[in-house]
C-alpha cells in the first residue's frame, strides 16, 4: 500500500509499519505472539503476562491493552525484549519510562493518555521504532532531538491534539525519507531552534510530509534562525511538503523572500496543502497566498515599522522585499533636518523628504545604504561633501525646486551617476571654485535648462554658461606643471625599482599582457554568472535586468542560483560547468569578498582563474557593483583587476552599462552538441585551425 499522505514519495506501508523499497519487509503482525497485562494495584500498576508458561528467545510479541486504567509502563516489560508492537492507547499513562531496553520495538501507540513532556533520552535507544502515536495527550513540551536524531528513524509520527505552544526544528526535519510527521491541532505559535543547530546543506531532508495545520501561528517562520543559512538552499535541502493550513499567518515582509524563491515551484506544482489564507493585514485577509503569488502580487507582502523600531514618528516606514527596498516616506511633515536614525534592514533605503523645510543636507550614518533620496521642494542652503560622498551608491538624488539659494554645493557630486541627479529649478551660488559645474553639466549631458547660478558680477545666469563668463576673471591653476612634476617623479621611481613592481604586481602584469585569442572556440555555455546570492538588491538586478538582457542577446547563461542541480556537490558541479563555459562574469560586491559561509564563490573563482591562465579563449569580466576600491579588496587576483581598471563600474550609468557588459563578453556562437560534435571529432583533420581543434577536444572531455 502506498503512503496515503504523499503518493510520490516512493514509500509503501506493509500492514502497519512503513518500509522503503529496497529494504527488508517488516514482519507480519499476525505472526507475533500476544502478551497480556495484569493489574497489581488500583493506581494502574501492571505486569506483563504471556499465554505460554515458557517462551523462546526468538519469539516476537505484540502487547495491546486499550481503553484501560494503566498508569505506568509494566514493571517487568524488559523481560520481553522482543516486543515489536505496543498499543496502550486510551489509558492513564503520564510518563514514558523504562522502555529503553526494548531495542526491537517498531510501533508504539500511546494516544489518548496523560503524557505531559517528552524528554530527549526517552526514545533515543529505540533505533527500530518507525511508528509513534502520542496524539491526544496533554503534552506541553518536547525536548530538542527527542523525535528525530542520529539514532532515530521514526517514519510515521502523530503528535496532534496536544498543548504545545512551540516546536523545535530538530523534531520536525529528519535526514532521508519519511511518511508523515503530524503536529496539527496544538497551540503552536512559534518554531524554535533552541540549540542553534545549522542544517547541513549537503544533506537531504525528506521526502515526506510535515503537517502543522490548525495552529495559531502569527508570523511566518524565519528559516535563517531555524538553521538554514541561505534561503536559496531550501529547495536543495528540503524535499518534503509543509501543511500549515488553518494558521493565522500575516502576509508580510517575512514571508516575501520565501515566496520569491518558491514562486516557480508554486506556479508549476499545486498541492491541496498550499491552500493557506492570509490572516493579516486587513487588505489581504482571507486571500489565498498561492493566488497572490500566481497573480504576481508579491509587492503587497510588506512590513510597517513603528517608532519602537526607529521609524521617525512623523514618517511611514515600509519594508518591501519583492522590490528589494525599504521605503521611508516623510513627505510634507514640516521637517527641518534628515531623520537621525532609521530602522535596521538588509535592503536599501528609499527616503522621501519632499515638501519639507530642510536647510542643510548633512551626514547621517545610514546614507551609505540610501538608494534614493528625494528632497525636492525644500529650503536647502548647503549640501555637505560628506553627505554626497556617502550617497555615491544612490541611483536617485533629487534636489529640484529648491526654494532658497544653495551657497555650498560640493564638487564631489560630479562623481555620482549623471542620470541619478535632478537639479531642475535650483539656484546655486557660483564663483571661481565652481567653474567645474558647467563642464560637468555639459560632459554628463545633464538637463540644465532650469539650473541657475547666482554670481557677484553677472547676477543670475544659466549654470552651463558659467565658465564662459567667469574664466577670464579666475586665475589659471598650476595643475599642469604639478602633473608633469608628479609624472617625472613617478617615472624615476618606476625605473629604479623594476623588481619591486614585478614582485608586487605580478597579477596586474599577467592581466595587462595577456592576449585573448579571438578565434572561434565553441562552448556549451557563453557566460557563468558568479555573485553573492544572498544580496537581495543584486539578486533582483540579475533576475530582472542582467539575465533578460544577456538571454535576449543570444548568450547561453549558467546562473547557479537558478541552474544548480538539487543535491549536487557544489565543487564538482562548479568545476564541470566552468569547463564548458567561455566567459566567467563576476559581480563584485563587499559580501562577495566575505568567504566565511560562502565557499561556493571561492571555489568558482579558483577554477575560473585557473582556466583563464591556461586557455586564452577564456574571459573574465568583472562588474564593480559596490564601487569597491582596490585598497579594500583582499584576494590578490581580484585586486589586480580593480587596480588596473579592468572592471565595469556599475555606477557609471550613462545608459551604456549593459552594452559595455556585452562588449566585454564578446561575440558568441552556439556550440554543436550530440552527434554533430562527435562527427567533428572523427573529422578533425578537416579543421585548418589548431586552436579550433584544441577547443573541441577540451570541451568534448566534459
Report d(CA 252, CA 321) in Å as an integer.
Answer: 9
Instruction: State which H helix or E strand residue 289 sits in.
Output: helix 289-294
pLDDT for 656 beyond 90: no
pLDDT for 698 beyond 50: no
Report d(CA 227, CA 229) in Å as an integer.
Answer: 6
pLDDT in tens, 92-141: 999 998 798 999 999 999 999 999 999 988 898 899 999 999 999 999 99
Domains of the chain, earliest start first: 7-250 (3.80.10.10), 251-300 (no CATH), 303-429 (3.80.10.10), 512-686 (3.40.50.10140)
The one-character DSSP state at 25 is P
Cβ atoms of 181 and 207 within 8 Å: the answer is no
183: helix, strand or coil: coil
Report d(CA 537, CA 578) in Å as an integer.
Answer: 25
Instruction: State which H helix or E strand residue 609 sits in.
Output: helix 599-614
Q: Check residue 230 and give its pLDDT.
A: 63
Average pLDDT rounded to a whole number, residues 390-406: 87
Of 585, 517, 526, 522, nearest to 554 by C-alpha is 526
Of 184, 194, 239, nearest to 11 by C-alpha is 239
Least confident of 53-57, 113-117, 249-253, 275-279: 53-57
Q: What beta strand segments (E) does 287-380 contain?
A: 303-305, 316-320, 325-329, 349-352, 360-361, 370-374
Q: Check residue 617 and give its pLDDT.
A: 86
**pLDDT tier at 363, thresholds 50, 70, 90:** very high
**pLDDT tier at 236, thresholds 50, 70, 90:** low
The one-character DSSP state at 158 is E
Average pLDDT rounded to a whole number, residues 626-641: 81
Q: Check residue 85 and give its pLDDT.
A: 96
Of 67, 65, 68, 75, nearest to 45 by C-alpha is 75
**pLDDT tier at 374, thresholds 50, 70, 90:** very high
Q: Which three cell numbers, joined as nine digits, stand for 209?
A: 510530509
Average pLDDT rounded to a whole number, residues 173-201: 88
Of 252, 303, 248, nearest to 276 by C-alpha is 248
pLDDT in tens, 340-359: 999 999 899 999 999 999 99
Q: Check residue 521 and give its pLDDT.
A: 78
Q: What percent of the chain has pLDDT over 70?
A: 78
**pLDDT tier at 506, thresholds 50, 70, 90:** confident
pLDDT for 13 beyond 70: no
For residues 478 and 386, which has the higher predicted lDDT (pLDDT)? 386
Least confident of 104-113, 410-419, 588-597: 588-597
Q: Which three cell numbers, joined as nine digits, stand for 138?
A: 496533554
Q: According to the per-residue pLDDT averaged within each range, which of 3-12, 21-30, 170-179, 508-517 is highest? A: 170-179
Q: What beta strand segments (E) does 286-368 contain?
A: 303-305, 316-320, 325-329, 349-352, 360-361
Please classify residue 78 by burial: count the beta carbons closer than 10 Å to its beta carbon, then call 0-12 exposed, 13-18 middle and 19+ buried: middle
Q: Check residue 328 and give its pLDDT.
A: 96
For residues 684 and 671, which has the higher predicted lDDT (pLDDT)? 671
In the chain the first and final C-alpha atoms are separated, in Å, by 43
Across the chain, mean pLDDT equals 79
Q: Check residue 67 and give its pLDDT.
A: 95
Point out which residues pair with 320 in neighbouring strands. 325
Q: Check residue 7 and give its pLDDT.
A: 32
Least confident of 7-21, 221-235, 277-291, 579-593: 7-21
405: helix, strand or coil: coil
Report d(CA 25, CA 21) in Å as an integer.
Answer: 9
pLDDT for 647 beyond 80: yes
Report d(CA 108, CA 104) in Å as an integer.
Answer: 11
pLDDT for 146 beyond 80: yes
Average pLDDT rounded to a whole number, residues 284-308: 88
Please classify residue 184 by burial: count the beta carbons closer than 10 Å to its beta carbon, then call 0-12 exposed, 13-18 middle and 19+ buried: buried
**pLDDT tier at 222, thresholds 50, 70, 90:** confident
Q: Check residue 265 and give its pLDDT.
A: 58
Cβ atoms of 647 and 671 within 8 Å: the answer is no
pLDDT for 234 beyond 70: no
pLDDT for 681 beyond 50: no
**pLDDT tier at 280, thresholds 50, 70, 90:** confident
Q: Check residue 1 and give its pLDDT.
A: 29
For residues 426 and 501, which has the higher predicted lDDT (pLDDT)? 426
Q: At what angle do helices 570-579 and 599-614 cross, to 10 degrees?
A: 30
Q: Strand 451-455 to strand 459-462: parallel, antiparallel, or no bridges (unpaired)?
A: antiparallel
pLDDT for 22 beyond 60: no
**pLDDT tier at 501, thresholds 50, 70, 90:** low
**pLDDT tier at 498, thresholds 50, 70, 90:** low
**pLDDT tier at 627, thresholds 50, 70, 90:** confident
Cβ atoms of 345 and 326 within 8 Å: the answer is yes
pLDDT for 256 beyond 60: yes
Report d(CA 386, CA 363) in Å as an integer.
Answer: 6
Q: Which three cell numbers, joined as nine digits, stand for 439?
A: 563642464
Of 134, 126, 180, nearest to 153 by C-alpha is 126
299: helix, strand or coil: helix
Q: What percent of the chain has pLDDT over 90?
A: 30
pLDDT for 566 beyond 90: no
Q: Strand 11-14 to strand 451-455: parallel, antiparallel, or no bridges (unpaired)?
A: unpaired
Cβ atoms of 680 and 696 within 8 Å: the answer is yes
pLDDT in tens, 431-456: 888 888 877 777 766 666 788 888 88
Cβ atoms of 375 and 352 within 8 Å: the answer is no
Give pTM, 2 decimals: 0.56
The DSSP annotation for 109-154 comes to: E--SS---EE-TTSSTT-TT--EEE--SS---EE-TTSSSSTT---
Amino acid at each position: 500500500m502506498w503512503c496515503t499522505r504523499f503518493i510520490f514519495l516512493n514509500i509503501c506501508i506493509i500492514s502497519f509499519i512503513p518500509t522503503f523499497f529496497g529494504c527488508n519487509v517488516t514482519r507480519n503482525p499476525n505472526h507475533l505472539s500476544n502478551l497480556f497485562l495484569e493489574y497489581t494495584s488500583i493506581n494502574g500498576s501492571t505486569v506483563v503476562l504471556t499465554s505460554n508458561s515458557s517462551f523462546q528467545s526468538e519469539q516476537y510479541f505484540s502487547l495491546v491493552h486499550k481503553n484501560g486504567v494503566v498508569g505506568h509502563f509494566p514493571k517487568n516489560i524488559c523481560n520481553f525484549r522482543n516486543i515489536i508492537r505496543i498499543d496502550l492507547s486510551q489509558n492513564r499513562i503520564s510518563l514514558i519510562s523504562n522502555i529503553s531496553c526494548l531495542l526491537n520495538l517498531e510501533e508504539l501507540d500511546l494516544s489518548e493518555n496523560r503524557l505531559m513532556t517528552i524528554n530527549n533520552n526517552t526514545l533515543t535507544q529505540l533505533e527500530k521504532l518507525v511508528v509513534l502515536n502520542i496524539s491526544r495527550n496533554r503534552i506541553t513540551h518536547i525536548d530538542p532531538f527527542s523525535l528525530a536524531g542520529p539514532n532515530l528513524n521514526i517514519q510515521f509520527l502523530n503528535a496532534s491534539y496536544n498543548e504545545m505552544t512551540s516546536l523545535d526544528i530538530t523534531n520536525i526535519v529528519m535526514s532521508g525519507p519519511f511518511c508523515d510527521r503530524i503536529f496539527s491541532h496544538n497551540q503552536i505559535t512559534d518554531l524554535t531552534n533552541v540549540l542553534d543547530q545549522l542544517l547541513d546543506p549537503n544533506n537531504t531532508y525528506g521526502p515526506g510530509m510535515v503537517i502543522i495545520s490548525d495552529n495559531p501561528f502569527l508570523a511566518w517562520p524565519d528559516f535563517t534562525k531555524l538553521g538554514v543559512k541561505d534561503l536559496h538552499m531550501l529547495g536543495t535541502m528540503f524535499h518534503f511538503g509543509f501543511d500549515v493550513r488553518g494558521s493565522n499567518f500575516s502576509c508580510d515582509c517575512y514571508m516575501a523572500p520565501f515566496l520569491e524563491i518558491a514562486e516557480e515551484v508554486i506556479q508549476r506544482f499545486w498541492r491541496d496543502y498550499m491552500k493557506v489564507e492570509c490572516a493579516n493585514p486587513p487588505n489581504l485577509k482571507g486571500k489565498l497566498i498561492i493566488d497572490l503569488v500566481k497573480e504576481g502580487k508579491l509587492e503587497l507582502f510588506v512590513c510597517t515599522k513603528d517608532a519602537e523600531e526607529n521609524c521617525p514618528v512623523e514618517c511611514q516606514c515600509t519594508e518591501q522585499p519583492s522590490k528589494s527596498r525599504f521605503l521611508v516616506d516623510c513627505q510634507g511633515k514640516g521637517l527641518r533636518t534628515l531623520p537621525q536614525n532609521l530602522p535596521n534592514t538588509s535592503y536599501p533605503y528609499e527616503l522621501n523628504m519632499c515638501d519639507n523645510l530642510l536647510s542643510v543636507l548633512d551626514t547621517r550614518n545610514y546614507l551609505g545604504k540610501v538608494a534614493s533620496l528625494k528632497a525636492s521642494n525644500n529650503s536647502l542652503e548647503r549640501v555637505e561633501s560628506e553627505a554626497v560622498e556617502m550617497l555615491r551608491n544612490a541611483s536617485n538624488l533629487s534636489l529640484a525646486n529648491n526654494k532658497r539659494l544653495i551657497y555650498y554645493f560640493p564638487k564631489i557630486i560630479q562623481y555620482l551617476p549623471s542620470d541619478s541627479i535632478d537639479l531642475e529649478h535650483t539656484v546655486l551660488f557660483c564663483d571661481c571654485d565652481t567653474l567645474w559645474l558647467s563642464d560637468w553639466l555639459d560632459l554628463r549631458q545633464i538637463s540644465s535648462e532650469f539650473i541657475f547660478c547666482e554670481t557677484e558680477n553677472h547676477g543670475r545666469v544659466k549654470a552651463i554658461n558659467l565658465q564662459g563668463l567667469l574664466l577670464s576673471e579666475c586665475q589659471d591653476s598650476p595643475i599642469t606643471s604639478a602633473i608633469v612634476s608628479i609624472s617625472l617623479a613617478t617615472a624615476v621611481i618606476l625605473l629604479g625599482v623594476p623588481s619591486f613592481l614585478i614582485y608586487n604586481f605580478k597579477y596586474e602584469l599577467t592581466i595587462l599582457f595577456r592576449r585573448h585569442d579571438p578565434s572561434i572556440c565553441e562552448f556549451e555555455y557563453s557566460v557563468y554568472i558568479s555573485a553573492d546570492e544572498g544580496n537581495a538588491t543584486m539578486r533582483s538586478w540579475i533576475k530582472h535586468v542582467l539575465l533578460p538582457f544577456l538571454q535576449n542577446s543570444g548568450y547561453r547563461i549558467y546562473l547557479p542560483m537558478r541552474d544548480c542541480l538539487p543535491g549536487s556537490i557544489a565543487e564538482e558541479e562548479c568545476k564541470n560547468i566552468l569547463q564548458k563555459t567561455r566567459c566567467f562574469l563576476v559581480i563584485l560586491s563587499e559580501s562577495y569578498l566575505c568567504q566565511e559561509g560562502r565557499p561556493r564563490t571561492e571555489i568558482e573563482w579558483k577554477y575560473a582563474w585557473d582556466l583563464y591562465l591556461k586557455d586564452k579563449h577564456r574571459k573574465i569580466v568583472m562588474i564593480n557593483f559596490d564601487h569597491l576600491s582596490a585598497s579594500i579588496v583582499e584576494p590578490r587576483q581580484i585586486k589586480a583587476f580593480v587596480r588596473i581598471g579592468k572592471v565595469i563600474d556599475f555606477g557609471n550609468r550613462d545608459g551604456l552599462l549593459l552594452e559595455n557588459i556585452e562588449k566585454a563578453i564578446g561575440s558568441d556562437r552556439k556550440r554543436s552538441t550530440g552527434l554533430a560534435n562527435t562527427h567533428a571529432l572523427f573529422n578533425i583533420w578537416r579543421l585548418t585551425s589548431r586552436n579550433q581543434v584544441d577547443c573541441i577536444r577540451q570541451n568534448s572531455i566534459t
